[in-house]
């Protein structure tokens, strides 16, 4: 792992339910990255990037199976992008008789890691638990940014998950989302985007971790997605972005990976067996 990792956040805009077309667009994106001089070490695409979000009854036909993940890994590996480049891609995945909202990490023609969304929203316009099964595991993996954890959208709206990825000793946390744009602040920023920034900045500061956020762009069934992305270092400071010419609204971040977690910092949940202590507290009457 080098001291600096180039992270490309792509607010990928899929065609709802069009698996073949979305794969073709992914292949085109990979070839554009390979031909560019930007040379990212990590490429992050949003939640359900290969299917679209408002799937409803299209879930079954839009879902991928394990053999198709292997095909995606091969397509990315053959695109000309360096073998060490990691890809984080959101997609629906069928396992057995259930479909999960997943974040899959690809590298070197292989599947490096998979996270199934744990918290499925069931409020407002969201009804995910009707169409998706709930994940049951939270694991880390050795990635370009060190020990890394994945969260998918609603996962990151539960503060206990921020604690959990700290307890797992993740150095970096990647959050992918398909979060609709809502409201406007006095600074003419979407209120939804501001809330994402404030929340994840608090997590980064509390637990001394890097946070990478990537939301999708475009309009789907009349719903606007803002295509925002941002990165915080372990001190909760913004990492400056460079505009990428590879994809509209894509941003390139140079992240110093060697910073890692601040061991001994007050917010580090591994500091004093905090997880064990909380388990004991929560078990009390």
Angle at which helix 159-167 crosses helix 274-283, to 10 degrees, equals: 130
Distance CA 57, CA 122 (A): 16
In DSSP terms, 241 is beta-bridged to 253
Q: Could you list the active site residues? A: 47, 117, 153
Round to whole Å and give the CA distance between 40 and 34.
Answer: 9
């Amino acid at each position: 792992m080098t001291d600096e990792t180039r992270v490309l956040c792509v607010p990928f805009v899929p065609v709802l339910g069009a698996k073949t077309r979305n794969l073709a667009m992914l292949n085109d994106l990979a070839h554009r990255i390979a031909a560019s001089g930007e040379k990212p070490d990590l490429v992050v695409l949003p939640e359900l990037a290969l299917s679209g979000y408002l799937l409803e009854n299209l879930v079954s036909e839009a879902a991928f199976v394990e053999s198709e993940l292997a095909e995606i890994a091969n397509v990315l590996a053959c695109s000309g992008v360096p073998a060490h480049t990691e890809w984080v891609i959101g997609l629906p995945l069928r396992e057995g008789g259930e479909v999960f909202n997943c974040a899959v990490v690809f590298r070197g023609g292989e599947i490096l890691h998979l996270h199934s969304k744990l918290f499925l929203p069931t409020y407002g316009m969201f009804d995910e638990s009707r169409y998706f099964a709930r994940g049951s595991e939270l694991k880390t993996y050795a990635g370009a940014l060190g020990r890394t954890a994945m969260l998918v959208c609603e996962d990151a709206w539960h503060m206990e998950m921020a604690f959990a990825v700290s307890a797992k000793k993740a150095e970096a946390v990647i959050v992918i989302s398909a979060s609709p744009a809502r409201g406007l602040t006095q600074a003419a920023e979407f209120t939804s985007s501001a809330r994402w920034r404030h929340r994840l900045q608090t997590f980064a500061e509390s637990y001394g971790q890097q946070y990478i956020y990537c939301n999708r762009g475009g309009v789907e069934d009349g719903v606007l997605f803002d295509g925002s992305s941002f990165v915080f270092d372990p001190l909760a400071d913004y990492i400056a972005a460079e505009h990428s010419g590879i994809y509209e609204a894509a941003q390139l971040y140079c992240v110093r990976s060697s910073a890692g977690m601040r061991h001994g910092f007050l917010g580090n949940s591994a500091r004093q067996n905090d997880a064990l202590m909380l388990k004991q507290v929560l078990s009390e009457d």
